[in-house]
Chain A
Amino acid sequence: MASKKIRKVAAMNRALARIRQIPFWSWLWFILGALYFILPLYATLNFSLRMERDVIGFKAYIRAFEDPEFLQTFFYSIGLAVMTIIASIILIVPTAYWIRLRLPEARRIVEFITLMPFVVPAIILVFGLIRIYSSPLKIPFTDIILLYPLTTFKFGTNALIVAGYMVLGLPYIYRSVDTGMRTVDVRTLTEAAQSLGAGWFTIIVKIILPNIRAALLSGALLTFAIVIGEVTLASFLAVPAFGPYLFLLGQHRAYEPAALSFASFLMTWVAMGLIQLFTGGQNQVSGAH
């Protein structure tokens, strides 16, 4: 009797467990989330394919990509992104390396600085940059000019916007470089290289950089994703970049902007997919809007 009852209860428990194993709520949240993700993309794609009445086709894409201004602004933005990435690596890799090797006491202050871009949003940053660099930079209380206004000539403006983008990307690049260095034994590598007679430049370029290339790539791709469609800095500094172009295009066209929006989504997707590939999804938390 007793064992029969126990078996019955056990069977009932098993049945209940099986029902519990179908996670209804989990599926519901997941499907809702998937819809939220996909609907706007589907709507954009759908819209972008309907430039010609009653025909599904890529006309909007062809039109958009054919526009010479698109190519100009797009390559301009790619150029800015590449410059930002190179300059960031030149600035941050030796800094992070030096801190790890010789100057751990600087870690806190440097980390604090790399967090500052979070409290100074792009709009505030560009406000400050314009106010500082649109007039000659003088030594305080004197008339000695250190720097002519950067915003008055092309190279100056480009340098200024690259610096601004470096600031926006700083938290991500610094963190990914620092994480990358944590996984390789910087000290041993350095001592080995030094004992073989390598100088600082050789050590950083030939030893450190190749060893943190996955981290560098993920930081670089994230920077690329931030810079390529960036609007705030580009439009206030009046730089002919892709973001402001897309914005203006949206003011007087309907289908081409949708096509370019979908294309830039795909580009973000590729960048993030590559990061995922390189790092296993470690360095994706960002937010530069």
Chain B
Amino acid sequence: MTQTALNPKGASPASDWKKWLGVMPFFLFAILFLVLPSLRLLIGSFTNSEGQFTFANLLQLVQEKSILDAYWLSIRISAATAIGGGIFGFLLAYSVTVGGLPKPLRSALITFSGVASNFAGVPLAFAFIATLGRTGFVTALIKNLFGVNIYTQTDFDLYSFWGLSITYMYFQFPLMVLIMAPALDGLKREWREAAENLGASTTQYWLRVALPVLLPSILGSMILLFGNAFGAYATAYALTGGRLGIITIQIGAQIRGDVLHNPGLGYAMAMGMVVVMTISLIGYSWLQKRSERWLR
């Protein structure tokens, strides 16, 4: 009722209904290529091989050790790169915004971050093999400088947890820089001045004023980085050739051929990923909303 009253053209309910026709192509596309495929996986995860409804797939999912290990490995790598990339990215964003570095460095860093956060997949894996592989550039550099062969004298292996994490960091911390730089710009000069006038030291200002204001934004971005790493497949596959059993690689193996001998379990595995990604997206948007209270 109020809607019609507010509408300057006094549209009738019939044209209200027709208005939605304009967005129908978009909804049709979304249903065909986004909703339907997701629904198929959701239904599949509650269906047994005879096509009947079952909870068995989900039960098996939480009992199968190899799958739980895959989730756990993915979660550990994602968390490590989200926290590591988050802290490092924050410090970098800090250095070019309020950290007092010359202005040109800032635009250089932002551009480079834009490139690096989009530089992933096979080329990234190859770049890190050339860097930290057995005959990689940095591997040789460390050997020449410190006389340490990181492959024979330490536990390091590029095709393992740490290797993959270091590789993921290449697109993780630039993403953090891109998100945090505007947030750091949002810190008001007056807050710092007010704090200093009241006798606060730099440490006090950061601990009591700046960080609490920035914290939701920092945590939210880290969650975004977590999801970013959690869903990554191509980089890990190109780097380890499927040897490191993170969850996306297990799902890939399940798509290629039913390695679990239960299609339903594969669907359940995929749905498990969607659940984790959904939780992280909700966490991100909630924290983002909180951070908007102070920053802009």
Binding site for B on A (CB under 8 A): 21, 23, 25-27, 29-30, 32-33, 36-37, 39-44, 46-48, 91-92, 94-95, 98-99, 102-103, 106, 110, 113, 115-132, 163-164, 166-167, 222, 225-226, 229-232, 236, 243, 246-247, 250-251, 257-258, 260-262, 264-265, 268-269, 271-273, 275-276, 281, 284-289
Contacts and interface: CB of A to CB of B under 8 A. Distances in A.
B121 A284 contact: no
Contacts of A125: 34, 37
B34 to A, nearest CB: 6
B296 interface: no
B233 A29 contact: no
Contacts of A92: 26
B122 to A, nearest CB: 5
B95 A23 contact: yes
B6 to A, nearest CB: 11
Contact of B99 (A26, A272, A287): A26
B136 A26 contact: no
A286 B118 contact: yes
A33 B119 contact: no
Nearest to B277: A119
Interface in B223-269: 224, 227-228, 230-235, 237-238, 241, 248, 251-252, 255-256, 266
A287 B111 contact: no
A99 B137 CA distance: 53
Contact of B126 (A164, A232, A250, A286): A250
Contact of B169 (A36, A118, A129): A36
Contact of A246 (B111, B122, B138): B122
A287 B228 contact: yes
Nearest to A281: B110
Contacts of B105: 30
Interface in B16-38: 19-20, 22-23, 25-27, 29-30, 32-34, 36-38
Interface centre among B122, B224, B252, B278 (most CB of A within 10 A): B122
B111 A281 contact: yes
Contact of A127 (B112, B126, B228, B270): B270
Contact of B38 (A94, A120, A229): A120
Nearest to A226: B118
Interface of B: 19-20, 22-23, 25-27, 29-30, 32-34, 36-38, 40-41, 44, 88, 91-92, 94-96, 99-101, 105, 107, 109-128, 130-131, 136-138, 169-171, 173-175, 177-179, 224, 227-228, 230-235, 237-238, 241, 248, 251-252, 255-256, 266, 270, 273-274, 277-278, 281
Contacts, number: 270
Given A119-B281, A122-B231, A287-B118, 18 more contacts: A23-B101, A26-B100, A30-B96, A30-B105, A47-B130, A118-B227, A119-B227, A121-B231, A124-B251, A127-B37, A128-B38, A167-B33, A231-B238, A232-B233, A250-B125, A265-B119, A284-B110, A289-B234
Contacts of A129: 33, 37
A132 B36 contact: yes
B233 A257 contact: no
